[in-house]
Structure 1
Amino acid sequence: MLSADTQPTTTPLGDAARLIDGGDMDCGSGLLLLITRAMRRLQAGELLAIRSAEGSVVTDLPVWAELVGHEVADHLAESETGPWWFTVRKDGAELAKPDAGTVFSIGDRTPVGHRLWAYTNFDCNLACLYCCAESSPKAAPRRLDPEVVGPLFAEFRAQGGKELLLTGGEPFMHPQLGELVDAAAGLERTILTNAMIFHRGRRRELLESIDRDVVMQVSLDSATPEIHDKMRGAGSWARALDGIGLAHSLGFRVKIAATRMDEDPEGVRELHERLDVEGIAQEDRVIRPVAAEGFADGGIHVSIDSLEPEPVITADGAWWHPVAVTNPHLRIADAPLDLEEIFGVVRDTLQVQDAASASGREVFRCA
């Protein structure tokens, strides 16, 4: 299966400017992202060839073409059970593009273009059982280069971006974290950390040098060590609390993010009581479920239908959401450097979803 569009010489339906091989993906699991990106790279009148082994695409693709205004020029089936081939001719009209400095939003969504996530690196001092990024001490670092992403952060600001969240892995294991933070000056910056390794030495110096308008978001899953240490490793709860106290003492605003496998009301209540003791404001707390991604054995299934988009860049490309960076079906781009394409694919995808919803039609189903 091809994970991106290619330029073939010919297909069973004749020549086309680009080819998408979606394998058995339906559009809820990523085919829509591949098609949308490929269409943005075509000129009006050019043909996109699409191959799919997923039966729902036979119904969904013509609906998508109608909603967007493209034309299904031809199609064929290799057998009664597929795979199926389509060629779609790009219409001359473009979906609406925002002016520079504006953002795109529908309803209560975080406006596309307002927030950007960045995986600074993928190595980590922990190997949490549910880590969506498959980070661990053995993971390849795959670090963002400040010289590469510095101009991208500047472009994000120039386009009206407001908020940058630096996550990992453990960001404090990146030897150039300070440069990444400085490159994002002028944005609302948050570092997601387990707060365990910045107590001394070079990392303590780095922590003390960081601007105090940078927020530290610390992972703390439970009010007592049992649950947290079971998921993250023995002793991690106590060290996280020490890190929270240190960050507070240095004048940082500290937020807490808890990831829980269950919705035990008593455990949640106890966690809130603990955070009261630690001086964490109510608005600085988030309790989130486990996503069935990465190392997780269970959790909530995610797709573009169930995840509000929060575009994220890594050293390897760009994805729909930070919990899905190990999922090739939710990849937006092969490189993290083209913000116009990254945000454009998201906007175009949302417009198709909303047009389908407004028309009362089911399009791009996700099982």
Structure 2
Amino acid sequence: MTIDFANLQKHYRLYQEEIDVAVHAVMDKCNFIMGEEVLQLENALAAYVGVRHAITCSSGTDALQLALMAVDIAPGDEVITTPFTFIATAEMIAHLGAVPVFVDIDEATYAIDPAKIEEKITPKTKAIIPVSLYGQTADMDAINAIASKHGLIVIEDAAQSFGATYKGKKSCGLSDIGCTSFFPAKPLGCFGDGGAIFTDNDALAEKMRSLRVHGQSKRYHHRYIGIGGRLDTIQAAVLLVKLRHYETDLALRQEVARKYDAALKGKRPLPFIAPDRTSAYAQYSIRVQDRDALQEELKSRGIPTAVHYPMPLHLQECFAYLGYKKGDFPISETVANEIMSLPMNPFLTDAEIEYVAGAL
């Protein structure tokens, strides 16, 4: 048996007729940049999350950058985040000349540990970026309370958790600003790069819309130094179709996870989902020993795996200037050495799940 890790082709085939019609409509109109489908998607995304504003953009990375720019993060400012995440989270902080300040993770959820945040706050701290990992949000109420106490902005990095819930509220709508990614392998993915930013703050929304198009207030009039960060219309058209079916896709992902849980229970430690949350299951990740050998053995049996992520950010060469060393964030380091993601997509069959579990 050979298993497809994300099965993007099957996902396309499932909605091919609708997607092809939507894409050809854009091509017929040639409205490739900021066509009406972009605004339609933004309205649909805002309604789905339950916020006033959704601003689409060219990637999840650009969503983070636009959010940080909108709240005036500047050189010398400090932004607290987790070292156990994709590099974009801290990369955008550093890109603006600010300082990423890392806080270790909760060993159960793999998200930033709120109990360890306050000790890292200084007069230079301006924001906190909690990261939703593998589809599950961080403990946002605790983080928002700390931020409120110290006058800080919270930017939710929800690149892996669009559609997940926290205490009944949708991810991306849990803080001052939420950011997500529509990279093709995400639970809601387009056919290229794409992202979105969410907020209830009218002023921040207006500013981020301007920053997204080179800081324009109107054509060729520039209020801010911005970026070229628009989502193209073809990607918006694809996402409009896929968003209509997203709750079904999400339920299928969660059903696959439940079947993995049942097949692996008592044999492997299972992913922990906090009782006040649901997961979008961007990945189904477990902890293992002797990971390299295990991955090779599974590969030989037609089972692809991935590691999200093998090296915490504080140990990456590009962040050596921050002065961190091995041992500074022991939970992140331990998890990075043991974490492994199994095939996860809405179309895994019972036979495939049993095959993976049996191989493990």
TM-score (norm 1): 0.28
Query: Larger % of helix: which?
Result: 2
